[in-house]
Amino acid sequence: MRVIGVNEFGGPEKLETVERPEPHAGFGEVRIAVRAAAVSPTDSLSRSGLGAPMAGPPYVVGMDAAGVIDEVGEGAPFAVGDEVMAITIPAKEHGGAYAEFVVGPWQSVSRIPSGHSLEEASTLPMNGLTAVQALEKLALPAGATIAVTGAAGTLGAYVIQLAKDAGLTVIADSSEKDRALVESLGAETIVSRGDDVADRILQAAPGGVDAVVDAAVQKEQVTRAVKPGGAFVSFRGWTGDGTDDVKFVVVSVGDEYLSSAKLDDLRQKVEDGVVTLRVAGTFPAAEAAEAHRRLEAGGTRGRFVLTL
């Protein structure tokens, strides 16, 4: 089968088409004939060798797949022909999502949202489950206030929409060009993004917010926006800067590999209009390098998707 991966880490030009043996579904597993794989910043880190260890070489990146089930192992509650989405973990035996076929445990899979394309569905698993884990770890009561950095990005958008559904009050950052988008997500207050975003969050919420969800990975630039006793949700393993009276919460989406119930709940929230899916553009899998270049150039709203 064809996979898109790297034999040595580096820039987008290192991505190439490689042949690997075709995998098959074992007990409790399904095989997905992949039709769409979302391209995320995590994929860029993996390709560069800056992410979590991966199986290989070749190292097959990608954490979001959508396609059609064509093999079902004993005990898996799916059928051949089901259209599904899945979270994939490049460090696992079968590698990442940039592949003709992906095999994984059925608990990593959910049916796609009704009325949505496979390309749209591929943008949901990894970032959607990341957002769910962030809010679960915060466990804030309805009415609490959170600030979200990187609000116009895919992760930030999911956090805002899920937070609003949970009854939270949201302060979100935005550039002027993204303001209409961020407003459409439901944030009550929008502040200008930038290195001094903490100042503007504090102007909107004197005394600080109950929590910051730092989807922009601004780290210590934003910690002072949290009120004493509040929480700061970080990504990519950052454990905080030691700020007094702030609880630092690290989110790791790899912990959600077997979270099909949560993924199915996200599917329902898409069908109910709570969560919206955004595809920034599609590329044939052979043009994965160009998709990575476009992503790294910045300014993308939604996810680029590779089609196989």
52 pLDDT exceeds 90? no
Helix (H) or strand (E) holding 296: helix 288-296
59 and 21 in a common domain? yes
37 pLDDT exceeds 90? yes
pLDDT band for position 65 (cuts 50, 70, 90): very high
CA distance linking residue 294 with residue 226, whole number of Å: 34
Q: What is the rounded average pLDDT of the residues 225-252?
A: 92
Task: State the pLDDT at residue 239.
Answer: 85
110 and 227 in a common domain? no
- pLDDT tens-digit readout, 252-300: 999 999 999 999 999 999 999 999 999 999 999 999 999 999 999 988 8
Domain-located, residue 267: no
144 and 30 in a common domain? no
Range of the domain at 55: 2-123+277-307
151 and 116 in a common domain? no
Task: State the pLDDT at residue 300.
Answer: 85
- Structurally, how many domains does the chain consist of? 2
181 pLDDT exceeds 90? yes
CA distance linking residue 190 with residue 173, whole number of Å: 6
Burial of 245 (0-12, 13-18, 19+ CB in 10 A): exposed
The domain boundary, picked from 237, 253, 269, lies at 253
148 and 116 in a common domain? no
Lowest mean pLDDT among 53-57, 138-142, 148-152, 285-289: 53-57
CA distance linking residue 170 with residue 161, whole number of Å: 9
Domain-located, residue 265: no
Domain-located, residue 217: yes
66 and 104 in a common domain? yes
CATH number at residue 43: 3.90.180.10
Domain-located, residue 226: yes
Task: State the pLDDT at residue 69.
Answer: 98
CA distance linking residue 22 with residue 221, whole number of Å: 46
Q: What is the rounded average pLDDT of the residues 244-256?
A: 94
pLDDT band for position 41 (cuts 50, 70, 90): very high
Task: State the pLDDT at residue 281.
Answer: 97
Domain-located, residue 264: no
| % of the chain with per-residue pLDDT over 70 | 100
Task: State the pLDDT at residue 131.
Answer: 98
> Under a CB-based contact definition with an 8 Å cutoff, are residues 217 and 150 in contact?
yes
302 and 228 in a common domain? no
Domain-located, residue 39: yes
Q: In the beta sheet, which residues pair with residue 226? A: 209
Task: State the pLDDT at residue 306.
Answer: 98
3-state secondary structure of 16: strand
83 and 7 in a common domain? yes
- Who contacts 130 (Cβ-Cβ below 8 Å, separation ≥6)? 155, 158, 235, 251, 253, 256
Task: State the pLDDT at residue 55.
Answer: 79
33 and 71 in a common domain? yes
- The pair phi, psi for residue 104, each rounded to 5°, is -165, 170
228 and 247 in a common domain? yes
Task: State the pLDDT at residue 240.
Answer: 83
Average pLDDT, the chain: 96
19 and 119 in a common domain? yes
Task: State the pLDDT at residue 92.
Answer: 86
244 and 139 in a common domain? yes
| % of the chain with per-residue pLDDT over 90 | 92
- pLDDT tens-digit readout, 184-211: 999 999 999 999 999 999 999 999 999 9
CA distance linking residue 18 with residue 131, whole number of Å: 33
pLDDT band for position 56 (cuts 50, 70, 90): confident
Kindly give the pairing relationship between strand 226-234 and strand 169-174.
Answer: unpaired
CATH number at residue 199: 3.40.50.720
Q: Beta-carbon neighbour count of residue 184 at 10 Å?
A: 12
> Under a CB-based contact definition with an 8 Å cutoff, are residues 234 and 219 in contact?
yes
> Under a CB-based contact definition with an 8 Å cutoff, are residues 190 and 179 in contact?
yes
Task: State the pLDDT at residue 244.
Answer: 85
Domain-located, residue 89: yes
Task: State the pLDDT at residue 253.
Answer: 95
Domain-located, residue 156: yes
